[in-house]
Structure 1
């Protein structure tokens, strides 16, 4: 059962559900005009969950899933499953996202590793300074702490 199943039983005498009650059961509230931001967050969280579900999938250069991935192949696959299309390479993905500061990063944002102006790796931000990514030949999709300060953040619109 989902949280929405319980909402009718949580109605107050006036027929309203408080924001706190919804939060307690995992519901969500959308403010008028907040749909684009909320929708972007929903896609990002879905993509994050897809990437996490691929834990242990082997790295293969040029692979876009469903059982093998390179770094940008994992992000392409994850966001496609969440309803968003991304370009194929990490650099193209960086060029296509809204660039944000580390202070504004959220779960599901893309984390781009760069050397100078060249992006060479991408992962999906999981919170707490960690990303889901497909790192290199011989490795598998995994959750890992961000190991470099040379990162940029991008939000898929």
Structure 2
């Protein structure tokens, strides 16, 4: 099933305010879940294993799942690298980006974050993300650093 960009964005936006949880969103099915303290590198003590929420790839996993009518489990529940390498992800140029596309931060050998581009809102390019511990899912102006743009096909 093709990706319904409006449903994808709406699914992500509906999660605004959801707690960030390292490893959250990686349960047996896409959606909020308890996180994990395994491989956790954030502020201590780790509370991820007591927090239901999303990490960045968990949020993107859920939004894409909803946007494809619950048919595409991007990265099969894995992390940002699994999503980046998923055969349904087409890498595109920044000039070709559009609402609903993904931005993977850094480089193919060091992907550490993914966000959902939601397009231009009130004259500003915006994205939605689960950024880091103690910051709930939020919509913010697009941060352009080293990044790789992608579209789910």
How many residue pairs were aligned?
118
User: Contact conserved, 1:111 with 1:131, CA < 8 A, in 2?
Assistant: no
2:96 to 72, 86, 104: 104
Partner of 1:78 in structure 2?
63
Partner of 1:24 in structure 2?
none
Task: Tell me the TM-score normalised to structure 1 length.
Answer: 0.69
Secondary structure of 1:122's counterpart equals: strand
Aligned residue runs from structure 1 range 5-154, under 5 A: 39-40=2-3, 42=4, 44-64=5-25, 65-66=31-32, 68-83=53-68, 84-87=72-75, 88-96=78-86, 97-115=89-107, 117-128=109-120, 129-154=125-150
User: Contact conserved, 2:107 with 2:148, CA < 8 A, in 1?
Assistant: no
In structure 1, C-alpha distance between the alignment counterparts of 2:63 and 2:141, rounded to whole Å: 19
> Which segments of 5 or more consecutive residues in structure 2 lack a partner in the other structure?
26-30, 33-51
Partner of 2:48 in structure 1?
none
- After TM superposition, the runs of 4+ consecutive aligned structure 1 residues lying more than 2 A away are 146-149
Q: Which is higher, the Rg of structure 1 or of structure 2?
A: 1
User: Closer, same or farther in 2 for the Cα pair 1:154/1:116, shift >3 Å?
Assistant: closer
Deviations 1:48-68 (A, max 9, x none): 110011010000000103361
Which protein is richer in helix relative to its size? 1
RMSD of Structure 2 on Structure 1 (CA): 1.7
Partner of 2:43 in structure 1?
none
* Deviation at residue 116 of structure 1 after TM alignment: 6.7
Q: Larger RCO: Structure 1 or Structure 2 (Cα < 8 Å, ≥ 6 residues apart)?
A: 2
